[in-house]
Amino acid sequence: MINIKTLIATSLLATQIPTLAANLHGNTIPKELERLLQPSEALIEFQVADLDGDGRSDYLFVVEDRTSGVDLPLESHARLLKIAIRLPDGGLKVVKSSDKAILCAKCGETSGDDFAGISASTKEFAVHHHGGFLWRCGKTFKFRYSRLDNTWQLVSVNTGSLRLTDPAKPFSAELRPPDDFGKIDISNFDSTSFACKASE
């Protein structure tokens, strides 16, 4: 039986969707990160990296807002991507957030949860999504820190698609500024603005 997630990762996005080592699967939530969570927030995943290039470790993390729709099932609640930087005194401060970077658990409709994870390294991070049923789609959104603007901006969008009825003909594309899109701050980013193209 074909493992669809493995198929699209190995066929199209193997270099873009890494193994997620620092998520919540068997990992203890650091106390300093836990203190940043609001009472209504549940931590979904986190990564540790020097996100602004100052030599100090920062946090990239995803939370689920359990107050975004009290009458909705938990899997439908909004998810927030947040960036907390390390201050000179060793403390942490949330400096950026995005409420449209991460899809909710049921936003993939028939494919279920399209959120595949986050990854981070020095001065950059990425958000990964994949979904679909007979037509599979994967997306990786990469952001890099701009010292000039003191923020993280979208620097590439990698998409890949594959029809399971014709797996020998995958399609992939890479979008970059300024030809494909303008300057996009993480706080203004909307992952649904970028669609996968079907394989030809």
Asked if the structure places residue 65 within a domain, the reply is yes
Q: Does residue 130 form part of some domain?
A: yes
Q: Can you give the pTM of this predicted structure?
A: 0.79
pLDDT digit of tens for each residue in the chain (200 aa)? 323 344 344 334 433 333 333 455 556 889 999 999 999 899 999 999 999 999 999 999 999 887 755 555 544 568 999 999 999 999 999 999 999 999 877 776 555 678 889 999 999 999 998 876 666 788 999 999 999 999 999 999 998 877 666 766 777 788 899 999 999 999 999 998 887 765 55
Residue 109 belongs to a domain: yes
Containing structural domain, residue 186: 4-193
Is 199 among the domain residues? Answer: no
- 198 within domain boundaries: no
pLDDT at residue 152, as a whole number: 98
Ordered strands of the 79-86 beta sheet: 41-49, 58-65, 79-86, 92-98
Domain count, the chain: 1
The neighbouring-strand residues paired with 143 are: 125, 154
